[in-house]
Chains A and B, each alone.
Chain A
Amino acid sequence: MEAAQQRAILFDLTRCSGCGKCVEACMQKQGFEGDPSKVKDMSATAYCSLNTVSNPEDSDDEYTYRDLCRHCVEPSCVSVCPVGALDKTELGPVVYDADKCMGCRYCMTACPFNVPRYEWDSPVPTVRKCDMCFDLQSKGEDTACATACSYGATICGTREELLEEARSRIEEDPDDYYPHIYGEHEVGGTSVLFLSPFPVEELGFDPKLGTDPMPVYTWRVLEKIPGVAITAGATMCALWWLTNRRNAVRDHEAREKIQAKAAKAAKKNGSNHEENGHG
């Protein structure tokens, strides 16, 4: 399925009241215990969190934003997993299969948004992160967080629909928005999009990241591997043959020299012997 048709989430900072219903609904859906109002960071038992960010021009002007898996169009985690335990589904959500996972945690290191969490205290640990309610969305329902939101701050739809919605929101109230849809192009595009009244680095969209999908950085090198392997192998074979030949020639010449010397000596001895015989 084209990225445009995949399921996505739009989060609008200007509409969020910070009520926390989305976090509560998420935890309920996942069956997590704990107080949703105290979730300040994602964890193995909270797939999304609410944090505050203030207007860089007016520190009293505070907004709430959600942190959750961005379900990248070309996800780092999926590309780095050595066993394919993470999968970018046709539907859009990035899902995890614990039965495949060997627990190397490369996904956690590679994620540019620091999303995956780990069950550090379990002897049989799993990676934990938002799966964009894959089960609900497969049935055509919205995510738990989108359903819970009564302000239109978190909405669910196809990536194309949501980009359109975001653009029209910016167009209708240009004064309320910073004219940028976070996640439209960053790291090759994400499936969780953000609208904000001012530029925000807290969303994790580090300008350093650029618009190339992250897997490109490693693939550029990985695709050279067959060539490198063949070149290394061929060079080694050639060098083995060359040095071997060089040594053989050297040994052969040395032997010839010795033989020539021996022959000369033998001849000399022989003639001496003959002379002696005559004497």
Chain B
Amino acid sequence: MASAVARPLSFWRGIFYLLLGTGLVLTVIRFTQGLGAVTNLSDRYPWGLWIGFDLLCGVGLAAGGFVITAAVYIFHIERLRPIARPALLTAFLGYLLVMVALMFDLGRPWNIWHPMVMWNPTSVMFEVAWCVMLYSTVLALEFSGMVFEKFRWKRAAKVQKILTIPLVILGVMLSTLHQSSLGTMYLIVPGKLHALWYSPMLPILFFVSAVSVGLAMVIVESKLSSRAFGRGLEMPILTEVGRVLVGALGLYGFMRIFDLFNRGMLGEAFTFSYESSMFLVEFGLGVILPMVILASSRRRASEKWLYAGSLFAVMGFVVNRMNVSMTGFEGAQGGHYIPSWAEVMITLMLVAVGFAAFSWIVNNFPVYPEEAKEPEVATREPAGVPEAETTAPWERVLIER
């Protein structure tokens, strides 16, 4: 099968090496000449694409990991189990890439470990640093199950299985904290961030939008990997994820509008100024449109529509985070920040490395369930006695009692 897919992939392989090559050259320049040599960052715009996209979007788009693992292991929604591992892998790689991106963005990346020993609890960044560190560890431990399974390390796999529930709970706690804290980070700039984005509700808005984009990413990621690996799509599962996505987007949209109304800023949204237009793009494209598309159960059941709706939700999320981190500052800071081509190239290199790593891991580790060709089997609610394979021993004790 590998040889059959090698040909269509060679185009993407070419793109990959191109991005990798250019990115590596720029990396050398970045670390020998300083940030100014490759970025358009300045004293007025100390944060740019690498914070707005690589960090804020990277962490948000990886939210599918904690959302799906919570659904499967905490809420015991067994039929979602087939997509738990891919979602976990996406999250794990997402966080690894965020950390790599930070190595580029930090002026003194060799000091990245300092928050571990130099504490400052009043700093939101300090809290985010700890949460990201701990959650990445949690993700690594959750992912280790696949490694143990692959190499048939039975004892390690058993220990890992026992740890699953505590790990998932810890993961949900840490994710709740740092997904919202990325919004809290911006609460310190009431004078700089435009009122369409600055809100005391930023932490909650960041959290709810992360949950919805996490769901959307699960659908997008499934679609992309079904294309890349020639797998069937677990449509009944994804349709259901799409249904929850509509609810999450609805909640987020309501909160966003309620917040604007509450602060008397709803009129501001329709002045068609630069900021207002960017808000309308973010909200119309990323909240209203996907909701309209996915509101119909017929369209949710269609592969194409489901993918389109989710893709719009993801794009709207990205625009939102870019608006909070860049657009929203331009009024107060003056001028514009437009990322340099080198910033874009390094970001694309990281994304490409992420795709390559994903595909390598899928090809080498048991990420997808075996019987992907028959999704009906995978989605069926396990009736009667639960499969011993998927249940931790201590869970079995509880169930069998």
Q: Pick the interface stretch among A130-138, A226-234, A268-276.
A: A226-234
- A264 located at the interface, meaning its Cβ lies under 8 Å from any Cβ of chain B in the complex: no
Separation of A254 and B127 alpha carbons in the complex (Å): 47
Return the 8 tightest CB-CB contacts between A and B, nearest first.
A103-B107, A120-B36, A108-B46, A102-B111, A82-B126, A82-B125, A103-B108, A105-B46
Question: What residues on B are CB-neighbors of A43 within 8 Å?
Answer: 43
Contact between chains at A123 and B122 (CB < 8 Å): no
Chain A residue at minimum C-beta to C-beta distance from B124: A218
We find that the number of chain A residues with CB closer than 8 angstroms to chain B is 63
B143 at interface (Cβ–Cβ under 8 A)?
no
Q: Which of A81, A102, A208 contacts B106 (CB 8 A)?
A: A102
B184-211 CB contacts (< 8 Å) to partner A: 184-185, 187-192, 203
In the complex, what's the smallest C-beta–C-beta distance from B53 to chain A, in angstroms?
Answer: 16
Q: Pull 18 A–B residue pairs with CB atoms less than 8 Å apart, ordered by A.
A: A79-B122, A79-B123, A81-B123, A100-B118, A101-B107, A102-B106, A116-B46, A118-B43, A121-B34, A123-B33, A126-B107, A209-B190, A209-B191, A214-B188, A232-B173, A236-B168, A236-B169, A258-B384
Q: Which residues of B contact A229 (CB under 8 A)?
A: 173, 176-177
The interface centre, meaning the residue of B109, B190, B191, B398 with most chain A CB atoms within 10 A of its CB, is B191
The answer to whether A83 touches B115, judged by C-beta atoms less than 8 angstroms apart, is: yes
Given contacts A102-B107, A222-B124, 12 further A-B pairs with CB under 8 A are A42-B43, A79-B123, A79-B188, A82-B125, A100-B118, A108-B43, A112-B191, A125-B108, A214-B188, A217-B190, A244-B399, A258-B384
Q: Which residues of B contact A (CB under 8 A)?
A: 31-37, 39, 41-44, 46-47, 70, 73-76, 78, 105-109, 111-112, 114-115, 118-129, 165, 168-170, 172-173, 176-177, 180, 184-185, 187-192, 203, 333, 383-386, 395, 398-399, 401
**A125 x B37 contact (CB < 8 A):** no
Q: Is the CB of A247 within 8 A of B76?
A: yes
The reply to whether B398 and A244 contact each other, CB–CB distance below 8 Å, is yes
Assuming the contacts A104-B106, A208-B190, asked whether A228 and B177 have C-beta atoms less than 8 A apart, the reply is yes
Of the listed residues A83, A101, A114, A208, the one surrounded by the most CB atoms of chain B closer than 10 A to its CB is A83
Residue contact A237 to B123, C-beta cutoff 8 Å: no
In Å, the complex CA distance between A125 and B43 comes to 13
Q: Are B188 and A76 in contact (CB under 8 A)?
A: yes
Residues of B within 8 A of A214 (CB): 188, 190
Interface of A is mostly: helix
A102–B114 CB distance below 8 A: yes
The minimal Cβ–Cβ distance linking B276 to chain A, given in whole angstroms, is 19
The yes or no answer to A225 lying at the interface (CB within 8 A) is yes
Residue numbers in B under 8 Å from A233 (CB-CB) = 169-170, 172-173
Q: Are B173 and A103 within 8 A (Cβ)?
A: no
Whole-angstrom distance between the alpha carbons of A236 and B165 in the complex?
10
Bound complex: CA A248 to CA B401 (Å): 9
CB distance from B400 to the nearest CB of A (A): 8
Q: A151 within 8 Å of B by Cβ?
A: no
Q: Bound complex: CA of A79 vs CA of B126, how far in Å?
A: 10
| Complex CA–CA separation, A246 to B105 (angstroms) | 48
A63-82: CB near B (< 8 Å → 1, else 0) gives: 00000000000001001111
Q: Are A83 and B114 in contact (CB under 8 A)?
A: yes
Q: Is A178 an interface residue (CB 8 A)?
A: no
Query: Smallest CB-CB separation from A239: which chain B residue?
Result: B74
Nearest CB on B from A123, distance (A): 5
Query: Which A residues between 79 and 110 are near B, CB-CB below 8 angstroms?
Result: 79-85, 100-106, 108-110
Which of B39, B122, B384 lies in contact with A215, CB distance below 8 A?
Answer: B122
CA distance A254 to B383 in the complex (A): 8
Contact bitstring A235-277, B, C-beta under 8 A = 1, else 0: 0110110011111100100110010000000000000000000
User: Which of B74, B123, B125, B176: most chain A Cβ within 10 A?
Assistant: B123
Q: How far is the CB of A181 from chain B (nearest CB, A)?
A: 20
